[in-house]
Amino acid sequence: MFQYNPLHCLPSAEDLPDSDDTPVDNELQDLIPSLLKAILALFWANRMDWFFGIDMGIHYDLEQPAIVPDGFLSLGVERFFDENLRLSYVLWEEQRVPILVLEVVSQTRRGEYTIKKKQYAQLEILYYVVYHPQRRKKSPLEVYRLTDGEYVLQRGNPVWLEEIG
pLDDT in tens, 131-160: 998 877 888 999 999 999 999 999 988 899
Q: Where are the domains of the chain?
A: 28-72+97-153
Report residue 17's pLDDT band, with 50, 70 and 90 as the boundaries: low
Rg of the Cα atoms in the chain: 16
The kind and range of the H/E element at 35 are helix 28-43
Is the model more confident about 3 or about 44?
44
Residues 6+ apart with CB under 8 A from 123: 1, 2, 58, 60, 67, 97, 98
Nearest CA among 84, 71, 81, 78 for reference residue 125: 71
Q: How far apart are CA 128 and CA 105, in angstroms?
A: 13
Pairing assessment for the beta strands 127-131 and 100-104 based on DSSP bridges: parallel
Number of other CB atoms surrounding residue 94 within 10 Å: 18
pLDDT tops 90 at residue 59: yes
Give pLDDT, residue 29. Answer: 84
Q: Average pLDDT for residues 94-109, to the nearest whole number?
A: 91
Q: pLDDT tens across 75-98, in order?
A: 999 998 877 799 999 999 999 999
pLDDT at 8 over 80: no
- Backbone phi and psi for residue 83, each to the nearest 5 degrees, phi listed first: -75, -5
pLDDT band with cut points at 50, 70 and 90 for residue 100 = very high
Report field, pTM of the whole predicted structure over 0.75: yes
Q: What CATH number belongs to 28-72+97-153?
A: 3.90.1570.10
User: Residue 79: helix, strand or coil by DSSP?
Assistant: coil
